[in-house]
Amino acid sequence: MEDKKIIFSGAQPSGKLTLGNYIGALKNWVALQDEYNCYYCIVDLHAITVPQEPKDLRKNSLEVLAKYIASGIDPEKNTLFIQSHVSAHTELSWVLNTISSMGELNRMTQFKEKSKKSEANLNAALYTYPVLMASDILLYQTDLVPVGEDQKQHLELARNLAQRFNTRYSETFKVPEPYIAKVGARIMSLQEPTKKMSKSDENENAYIGMIETADSIRRKVKRAVTDSIGIVKYSDEQPGVKNLINIYSNLSGKSIEEIENMYEGKGYGVFKDDTAEVIVEGLRPVREKYEDLLKNKDYLETIYAQGADKAERAAIKTLRKVYKKVGLIPRKFI
Ligand code: ATP
Ligand code: LTN
CB 126, CB 115: distance < 8 Å:
yes
Q: What is the pLDDT of residue 181?
A: 83
Q: What is the pLDDT of residue 15?
A: 85
Determine the atom of ligand 1 nearest the C-alpha atom of 43: 11
R_g (Cα) of the chain, nearest Å: 21
Topology of the domain covering 6-179+297-326: Rossmann fold (3.40.50)
Q: Is the beta carbon of 33 within 6 A of some atom in ligand 2?
A: no
Question: What CATH number does the domain located at 204-291 have?
Answer: 1.10.240.10
Q: Could you give the CA distance from residue 40 to residue 43 in angstroms, rounded to a whole number? A: 9
Q: Could you give the CA distance from residue 82 to residue 62 in angstroms, rounded to a whole number? A: 9
- Beta strand 6-11 pairing with 37-42: parallel
Q: What is the pLDDT of residue 76?
A: 96
For residue 36, give the DSSP letter. Answer: S
CB 8, CB 43: distance < 8 Å:
no
- How far is the centre of ligand 2, averaged over its atoms, from the C-alpha of 93 (Å)? 14
Q: Is the beta carbon of 89 within 6 A of some atom in ligand 2?
A: no
- How far is the centre of ligand 1, averaged over its atoms, from the C-alpha of 17 (Å)? 8
- How far is the centre of ligand 1, averaged over its atoms, from the C-alpha of 302 (Å)? 26
Q: Is the beta carbon of 136 within 6 A of some atom in ligand 2?
A: yes
Catalytic-labelled residue, pool 27, 67, 199, 272: 199
- How far is the centre of ligand 2, averaged over its atoms, from the C-alpha of 334 (Å)? 38
Q: What is the pLDDT of residue 200?
A: 85
Determine the atom of ligand 1 nearest the C-alpha atom of 114: 4
Q: Could you give the CA distance from residue 267 to residue 204 in angstroms, rounded to a whole number? A: 25
Closest ligand relative to 145 C-alpha: 2
Q: What is the pLDDT of residue 264?
A: 94
Is-catalytic flag, 114?
A: yes
Q: Could you give the CA distance from residue 86 to residue 84 in angstroms, rounded to a whole number? A: 5
Q: Could you give the CA distance from residue 84 to residue 45 in angstroms, rounded to a whole number? A: 6
Closest of 144, 157, 42, 37 to residue 93, by C-alpha: 157
Domain ranges of the chain: 6-179+297-326, 204-291
Query: Mean pLDDT per segment of 10 residues, for the chain of length 334 residues?
Result: 88 94 94 96 96 96 98 97 98 98 94 79 91 98 93 97 98 96 86 94 96 97 96 96 97 96 95 98 97 97 98 98 97 90
Q: Whose CA is nearest to atom 8 of ligand 2?
A: 133
Catalytic-labelled residue, pool 67, 196, 220, 272: 196
Cβ-Cβ contacts under 8 Å for 217 (sequence gap 6 or more): 208, 276, 279, 280, 283
Determine the atom of ligand 1 nearest the C-alpha atom of 110: 4
- How far is the centre of ligand 1, averaged over its atoms, from the C-alpha of 11 (Å)? 7
Is-catalytic flag, 233?
A: no
CB 258, CB 269: distance < 8 Å:
no
Please give the model's pTM, rounded to 2 decimal places: 0.95
Q: Whose CA is nearest to atom 15 of ligand 2?
A: 11
Q: Could you give the CA distance from residue 310 to residue 294 in angstroms, rounded to a whole number? A: 23
Closest ligand relative to 12 C-alpha: 1
Q: Which residues face 177 on adjacent strands?
A: 144
CB 161, CB 138: distance < 8 Å:
yes
Q: What is the pLDDT of residue 185?
A: 79
Task: Give the three-class secondary structure for 105.
Answer: helix
Residues within a 6 A CB radius of ligand 1: 11-12, 14-15, 20-21, 24-25, 147-148, 150-151, 185-187, 196-200
- How far is the centre of ligand 2, averaged over its atoms, from the C-alpha of 151 (Å)? 7
Closest ligand relative to 148 C-alpha: 1
Phi, psi (degrees; rounded to nearest 5) at 333: -105, 125
Closest of 49, 51, 82, 53 to residue 66, by C-alpha: 82
Q: Whose CA is nearest to atom 13 of ligand 1?
A: 11
Q: Is the beta carbon of 49 within 6 A of some atom in ligand 2?
A: no
